Chains A and B, each alone.
Chain A
């Protein structure tokens, strides 16, 4: 089946630093999604990407859909303590038996030191 490799697995940074994480896939996706999960809660959608090459921002967050459709990255600028959590990438296919299904990366655990 499809696999997503998300890196890094964890990051320890100082408040104010920029953060970058990425996901690579062995196959093509039609949509890339980035979620954030706080402890004991469900993931919350941060950014959705729908076209190869697309670059989208949401406040201090910026994400890009790779040209090959096999990768995506997420950048967080000027990190703050509330950015702490687990960030997941997810690739989504459309059509056929894989309709609507998401394949998730393993997550990046972000710790921000004040």
Chain B
């Protein structure tokens, strides 16, 4: 089945540690996105990529980094510079073009030990 796979489902980070969240899609979508979700808030955009080897900062990029070396993969690294990393992280993808809706994975919940 086509879809977006995020792994792991749950992740724990120690203070001062970098962690990487995986996002893979087999929908042949050019564009991919990372969002952060906190309780009682809507989704906030961290980074997005419209094409391989290109990505742009979203609204809350500080403390995060990404890479887009392959069309199907868009990993997100939560660095030690992100002081409040506990959240639910969602990856999405879409066809590149005007007004194309985004489709989401099932998320990774990151917690601090």
Q: Digit string of A13-47 for contact with B (CB within 8 Å is 1, else 0)?
A: 00000000000000000110101000011111100
- Count A-B contacts at CB 8 Å: 68
Residues of chain A with a CB closer than 8 A to B100's CB: 100
Pairwise interchain contact A95-B101, C-beta atoms closer than 8 A: no
Cα distance A102–B32 in the bound complex, in angstroms: 12
Residues of chain A with a CB closer than 8 A to B13's CB: none
Q: Does A101 contact B (CB under 8 A)?
A: yes
Q: Does B98 contact A (CB under 8 A)?
A: yes
Pairwise interchain contact B31-A43, C-beta atoms closer than 8 A: no
| B interface residues, tally (CB under 8 Å) | 30
Given contacts A45-B101, A88-B43, A102-B33, 16 further A-B contacts (CB under 8 A): A4-B42, A30-B99, A31-B99, A40-B109, A42-B4, A42-B105, A45-B103, A88-B42, A92-B99, A94-B98, A94-B99, A97-B56, A104-B42, A106-B41, A106-B42, A107-B40
Q: How extensive is the interface on chain A, given as a class? A: 20 to 34
Residues of chain A with a CB closer than 8 A to B64's CB: none
Q: Does B90 contact A (CB under 8 A)?
A: yes
Cα distance A44–B105 in the bound complex, in angstroms: 9
Question: 5 closest A-B pairs (Cβ-Cβ)?
Answer: A104-B42, A42-B104, A31-B99, A94-B98, A104-B43
Residue of B42, B58, B107 near A42 (CB, 8 A) is B107
Pairwise interchain contact B42-A30, C-beta atoms closer than 8 A: no
Pairwise interchain contact A1-B43, C-beta atoms closer than 8 A: no
Please, which residue of chain A has its CB at the minimum distance from the CB of B10?
A40
Q: Digit string of B3-47 for contact with A (CB within 8 Å is 1, else 0)?
A: 010100000000000000000000000010100000011111100
